[in-house]
Amino acid sequence: MAIRGVNAFDVAQAQFDKVAAMLDLDPATRELLRQPMREYSFAVPVRMDDGAVRIFRGFRVQHNDARGPAKGGIRFHPQETLDTVRALAMWMTWKCAVVDIPLGGGKGGVICDPHHLSEREQEGICRGWVRQLARNVGPVSDVPAPDVMTSGKHMLWMLDEFEAIHGGHYPGFITGKPVGAGGSQGRTEATGYGVVYTIREALKQLGLRPDQTRASVQGFGNVAQYAIRLYREIGGTVTCVSSWDNEAQQAVSFRKGEGIDPDELVGVTDRFGGIDQAKARDLGYEILPGDAWLEQPVEILIPSALENQLDGDNAPRVKPTVKLIAEGANGPTTPDADKVFAERGILLIPDFLANAGGVTCSYYEQVQSNMNMYWPKDEVLGRLDLTMTAAYHAVAELAQRRKLALRDAAYVISISRVAQACHERGWV
């Protein structure tokens, strides 16, 4: 998905400033929390398959680690920016705090397009990224994970390079590893399932049964696919999904009124979540413009692609039928769109609560790796359900008590917890 022309870090800081004022945070704490504690920008030289050396720009931002080691994914994207990584690191701090796991916020990225890189070239980027940061990341300081266009394979290359540099086994250095190579059961499903656990609880709050609802989803990567699967299992129907078409270099929406079968669509999808238009049409899907997903007459919207996808311009196009928006992506809704949805009475589950299932299960993987033991999938997903459900109800109860939007209530809880940790450490 193309990133819209909004600076994600400006959005993240605006969201923070609003709640910092509500909490009457002291100036020092405010200044500490609205900026990253540490950030790294560096060159990653890689010898390409044709023998030429190409220089890629890499980033790692550690926003705050007062509550525990920094935690956050690594994105490969041609439009990656340092400000995007800063915003995502900040959101990771709040995400870990809202579900009350002992980790801080970090994020990483490389400006590259994996669509046009061989596996060997991608491996070179992964190993080069670790070589630049080997002294600044690790199991007790900063624990990376997969993100946009990275996978368990990339994480294993990074782990192998880290262990080669440090001369030992450190499986807790990185999460999102393949099962059988230090990964956790349930990690693949975790983010998408976590989104649906919060949707399930929100529907109870709205007095709706899942089988009374339809949903439209932006994106068809890991998060979207597993969210669609679990949402269908609890009785809902997904009628539209959007995907990035790499050949056409634009987003495309796919609609089927009687309901989308994710397993059917996976069969015509590439490894980056791009759906083949011709094959989808043969399966009975209607092909629509990329933004059509947000104009569907459904009860639930699940943006699960990139940041800044719902803004002040397109938010008014959301149909009156929509009662709930669950942010599967990081930062998909701008403050202008937030205002539109609030005025219309749409309940919005904020990203750092809705999609916190991924980092929660990454934390479980980190714990298992450091303990050198593994939990069965039912145990992992059961723990995840309990954590996500408890976090949602804590946020919803505060929102109701203080008459706040869910986003503001989630921020109040998160920022309060992080600020308290900074105060107790004597930083401010």
Catalytic residues, by residue number, are 107
Q: Which residues of 151-177 are buried (b: 16+ CB within 10 A; e: fewer)?
A: bbbbbbbbbbbbeeeeeeebbbbbbbb
**What three-state secondary structure class fits 219?**
coil
- State how far the alpha carbon of 364 is from the alpha carbons of 52, 288, 360, 369, 425, in Å: 41, 40, 6, 9, 25
Cβ pair 409, 19 in contact under 8 A? no
> Encoding tokens for residue 73?
């994914």
Which phi and psi angles does 105 have, rounded to 5°?
-110, 130
CB 381 within 8 A of CB 189: yes
Terminus-to-terminus CA distance in the chain, angstroms? 40
Within a 10 A sphere around the Cβ of 219, how many other Cβ atoms? 27
Residue 361 and residue 14: Cα distance in Å, rounded? 29
CA-based torsion, 124, 126, 127, 133: positive or negative: positive
Distance CA 47, CA 54 (A): 6
Cα four-point dihedral sign 409, 88, 418, 175:
positive
